[in-house]
Structures are given as structure tokens and as C-alpha cells.
Amino acid sequence: MIFRCLLWVALPIILSGVEPVRADDATPTNPKVELLVQQLGDEKFALREQAARQLIETGMEAIDLLRQGLESDDAHVQLQVEYLIDAILQKDKRDRITAFLAGDDQAIPFWPEYCQIANSSPSARKNYARMAEKEWNLLSYIGRHPDQIDEAIRQRSSELIAQCKNREMRTVPSTMNVAMLLFVCDSSSQVSSETYKEVVQQLTPLAIRDSVKSPVERQLFDNWVAQSVKRPELGHDLRLQILFTAMRVNLRSGTILAKEYIAECETMPEIGLGKLPIALGMLAIAKLGSRSELPYLESRFNDSSSADQSVGGFANVPASKGEKPLQRQVRDFALLAAIHLEGQDPYEFGLTRLVPNPISLYLHSTVGFTSEEERIAAFEKWRLYRESAAQRELSPVFSDPETSRHDTQ
């Protein structure tokens, strides 16, 4: 039998598969579909059954007219319409995913944008199909109503927030739900700046909530962090929150944001935190970067600006009894980052009070030197280390003649 009990239906939200009804929507007319919807309330069971089958066969063309049936005074018609909308959406999902896996690039929205992040290989196609299923109702709705993308994204973001706050719900949004919604925001040029900023403000705490273990999710979050560099509407504070997210889950694109953040701080003295944000950006580069960042870090070795301010969770750690207080300068953080990326021991360079931190690598207040003499000695040791490393790279490698002779036999 077509009609069965619905386990769960939430009419007003996209998540359920039943799309929001807008008073200003222009519902397309289709006399055949209108007649079939009317027949759902017929007294004859056979006619109701036949109408339901034909509506499912009609597919997505019937959705907009079917949802008008949700306003029917006949409770039986409402129940049937709820089921039919869900059945049609599920069939459409199966058909479109099958077509997509067979090579139809237009079957799922934003596939070209995902190819720019990953590639267009068969394995990437399978990954994207699995990802799209997580937010299928949203993608399907946007595909058919691109002019309503702002409203749809705002509503879905609010739903994810509500699910996280409702402890009575059996399931909470996964990091993939969050990653996909951020990906859609970054991929569509039709998302307004206001909506983008609002969604990022709402979802960034969710992105922090769990570690990102899946390589596919990591790709999406990495893309989001990289794209945030190009979004001036996010503002300084929100960029810092995104940077901390990148540091917490080790997203490599955080180095791009860190350098942009540092440049932004240098041109915005009105922030009122002195050079501390720049020092935090250096710690981000230390944690997320690679040896390719060494020239950038060494270019900061002349910045003797003080970085002694404290902010938020980065309050200064007082010196122990009998210890001299540390003096922190921006170049100290640049040196620490360079030492770390080279795989050297900071303690050997005079940074003896470092306290590890799972997010920022080290507590910022434990970076620095007690005197200028210690600082000069540390930078001199780094200079000698770099000169020695350069000589080793330039020196020819002489193999043992006896070993070479055996290798050629």
C-alpha cells in the first residue's frame, strides 16, 4: 500500500524534505496535477491510490502544487500530501545521484566548485555524492529556487544551531553538515554578504565543536578558511575566531589567513591590542605552516615592538618567585615559529619557559626573554644555524668509493 505511517514529519523546515511555503510564491499551474491533488480527497480508495501513483510518477513537477495541499482543510489530504512530497524528493534524490555517478555533472549543484577544491576523479565524484546526501534537501531546493538561496541558507543554519542547543534531540549535526553549508555559502555568488557573515558567525562555534578526521571534511573546511581571506565583510574579530578554528583542528590554510590577519593588524592600529594579534598570527604560522614560511618569518626579525598585552584566554602567566619577568617582542614569536618549523628545540635557543598549548602551540605569555642580551644571543645562534644549514645544502656529497663499486655490481 502506498500510504503508510510517517515516522517523522516537520512541515515548515527544509531538513524534513518538506519545503517552506511562501505567501509570495507564484505557484505554476498544471491542470492535470491539480486534478490529481484534488483526487487525493476522493471517497473512492482506488481513485486516491491511482492519483498518488501518478503524482509520484510526475515527480518534481508536482512538488510546488502538492505543497499547496498542505493548506487543505482535509486532514487526510494533508497526510497524503506530506507522504507524497517526501516520496517524490527521495525518488528524485536516488535518480539524480545515479545520474551524477554515471557522469551527469549537472545532476548535483556545485560539483564544478568542488572540483576546484579536490578534482574530478571517479573517487572524488563518489565522495561528493555522499557529501551531497548530507544536505540533499537544501541542495535540491536551491537548485530549483536559486533566487531564494539566502532564505534557505539562513533557515538551514538556524536549524543546525537549534539542534545543537536541544539536548533532547537524539542526533546533533555532524561536522559534515556544517562543512557542506559553509561550502555552499562559499560556492554561490548569489549568497549576500549579510547572509554569509551571519551564517559564519553561527556555524564557526559548531566547526570548533569536534575534531575534523575525515579527509573530505578537511578539504571543505580548508577551503572555507582560505576563502575567508577574500571576505572583508567578516571583520577582524570573526577572522580571529576562524583562525583559532583552523589552529584547533590543524587546517593548513590557516597560514594564509594568519598572514592576512597580521597584515590587517598592521594597518589597523585602532584595534587597541598593540602587537599581540600579530604575535598570535605568528603562533598560527608556527603550528600550521612549513619550512617555506621561513623567509616570511625572518623578515620579521627586526620588529622589536612589544607584545606584552593580554587578551581573552591569553592572559599573562606571572613569573615564579625569584624569576625575572619575560619581555615579549614580535620578533621573539617570529623566531620561535622559525625554530619550530625547522624542527629544532626552542630551549636550545634560550626560550626556556615555554608552556605547550593545544591550540596555539605555546602559551603566548611564556614566549620571550628576560634580557636583551639573551635575545641577541638567541638570534645570533639562529644566524649561525642557518649559515651552517646552507653550507650543508651546498656541500657536494662524496660517496664512499668502495660502497659505490659494490652498488654498481
Q: Tell me the pLDDT tens digit for each residue of 8-57.
A: 222 233 334 434 434 344 455 678 888 887 787 778 888 888 888 888 88
More confident residue, 4 or 234: 234
pLDDT attached to residue 169: 54
CA distance 11 to 15: 9
Q: Could you tell me the three cell numbers for 402?
A: 668502495
**252: DSSP letter:** T
Smallest CA-to-CA distance from 181 within 129, 134, 227 is with: 134
Q: How far apart are CA 80 and CA 91, in angstroms?
A: 16
H and E: helices and strands count for the chain: 18, 2
pLDDT digits 0-9 by tens, 241-273: 899 989 988 999 999 999 998 988 877 754 545
pLDDT of residue 36: 82
Closest to 339 in 3D by CA, of 383, 376, 400, 303? 383
CA-nearest of 302, 393, 394, 298 to 339 is: 298
Asked if residues 298 and 338 have their Cβ atoms less than 8 Å apart, the reply is yes
Domains contained in the chain, CATH given: 1-105 (1.25.10.10), 108-228 (no CATH), 251-409 (no CATH)
pLDDT at position 168 is 59
Residue 406 — very low, low, confident or very high, per pLDDT cuts 50/70/90?
very low
Dump the DSSP string for 187-234.
H-TTS-HHHHHHHHHHHHHHHHHS----HHHHHHHHHHHHHHTT-GGG
In whole angstroms, give the CA distance from residue 176 to residue 196. 18
d(CA 252, CA 250) in angstroms, rounded, equals 6
Stronger pLDDT, 71 or 230, i.e. the higher one? 230
CB atoms within 10 A of CB 127: 17
CA gap 85, 251 in Å, rounded: 40
CA distance 74 to 352: 77
What cell numbers appear for 339 in the block?
A: 625554530
Read out DSSP for 68-91? GGGG-S-HHHHHHHHHHHHHHHHH
The pTM of the full predicted model, rounded to 2 decimals, is 0.76
Question: How far is the C-alpha of 378 from the C-alpha of 352, rounded, in Å?
Answer: 11
- What residues form DSSP beta bridges with 361? 357
With a CB cutoff of 8 Å and minimum separation 6, the contacts of 182 are 199, 200, 203, 207, 220, 221, 224
Compute CA 170 distance to the chain's CA centroid, rounded to the nearest angstrom: 24
pLDDT tens per residue, range 67-99:
877 777 777 778 888 888 888 888 889 999 999
